[in-house]
Structure 1
């Protein structure tokens, strides 16, 4: 299946930190550009300008997020265009990336097959760092020490968007004050169980966050090729307009109350 990756000239975007809402908009814009054939398939490594909770397209805002906890900690809540679960984000503690590719990359695959296929390269990168990581259906990456990452996916405009949020480190106490679902799952077990359930890459590798990201990028480049790119001025303009019209609005946040 590696030939499916190598039919394409992949590009890398690793830009300056962006706001949470702008990241949501950039995913939509870049994926639509790839689907339209105006941009090559793209790996985008995110840098976060501030802390956030990112909820899935179909999740209930009320059920997932404690608004008082989010306000107390100054955490922005945003909704993405893909499904999946809520993600607790802190800039120095999180590694996030997204892949935007033509839908032909996963043609004929079920969602489970597509998740496994699009996670394979990062599993290889993690194993090169000494972590025996594996894919857990439908959308997790785990090791013997616990969950490492969660993925989400969407197919739109003849393209597939696949993004992954990885825990480099975690403030479990803060997470439990902000995420209701985490509190429900772990309240009877205490904060230490939250740490165990999501086991960060920092403790498993002993490496700086930047070194883990560098390893991931190098692994992708070696296997599939990767040329440097950037967000174009037109893409940024469109993304900012989407923040104003959609991703930054209360209407979008409450599309599932």
Structure 2
């Protein structure tokens, strides 16, 4: 396969109203197939969350990663995504999440590590414009002098690659440690103060409102790679809603790895 570059493609932006965690999982599953089949142009999708969530990786054990009782107590939905990687703690006003749906040709010939670095480069540049010295940390983190900023995950299928990133704009560390078991293991011996340092949010590093950070990210992508404004088509949304209900809201999918 001949390798393509960003500017070889007609990139489109989707930035829709807040949606449920299960619908976001479904949209990722749907849109990677749509781009792979050539039914949709390569796309950058900025997520808006309608509810708090814990998102676990495709191959993670539910019981090992999440305290389900604590999640229920805090009204946090647990969902499983189609990509690998680790668990993400999501609160709507505290999180910036985006997905890139690209033809496989964009990362053709690259190793997994090289593909992560390549697909993260634009957002590291955007963070630099915001005054944050950030860098890619293998395999799937974006970090800074203040601490980790974001985690990424990928899925490859049907001639396309899905690369999605969750960034910490702000974070309720206490609540995160109640809900994520892995967080407790990593941080329990260091205390909550150290936990806050491990993930250093964009709010403290930029002093900007969340919407302003997203606006600057979009502008940087548009400057580098070109980016038209698009939206979800009615048929895409309808199919994603069915997929969210039948697959991503089902106990069978969530407990696929108990």
Tell whether the structures are fold-level matches, with TM greater than 0.5.
yes
Aligned counterpart, 1:117: 118
Aligned counterpart, 1:197: 198
Considering only aligned residues, what root-mean-square deviation do their CA atoms show, in Å?
0.9
Q: Cα deviations across residues 45-86 of structure 1 (Å, max 9, x unaligned)?
A: 000000000000010001000011101100000000000100
Aligned counterpart, 2:144: 143
Aligned counterpart, 2:40: 39
Give me the whole-angstrom Cα distance separating, in 1, the residues matched to 2:136 and 2:247.
33
Matched, 1:60 2:86: no
Give me the whole-angstrom Cα distance separating, in 2, the residues matched to 1:3 and 1:160.
13
Aligned counterpart, 1:160: 161
Aligned counterpart, 1:216: 217
Shift of 1:189: 0.9
Aligned counterpart, 1:81: 82
After TM superposition, the structure 1 = structure 2 runs for residues 8-47 of structure 1, keeping only pairs within 5 Å, are 8-47=9-48
- Determine if contact 2:56/2:80 at 8 Å carries over to the other structure: yes
Per the normalisation by structure 1, the TM-score is 0.99
Q: Cα deviations across residues 177-201 of structure 1 (Å, max 9, x unaligned)?
A: 0000001111111111110000000
Aligned counterpart, 1:246: 247
Give me the whole-angstrom Cα distance separating, in 2, the residues matched to 1:101 and 1:165.
18
| Partner-residue secondary structure (3-state), 1:188 | coil
Per the normalisation by structure 2, the TM-score is 0.98
Shift of 1:3: 6.4
Aligned counterpart, 2:104: 103
Runs (4+) of structure 1 exceeding 2 A deviation are: none
Aligned counterpart, 2:174: 173
Shift of 1:4: 0.4
- Determine if contact 2:4/2:105 at 8 Å carries over to the other structure: no
Give ranges in structure 2 of 5+ residues lacking alignment: none
Count how many residue pairs are aligned between Structure 1 and Structure 2: 256
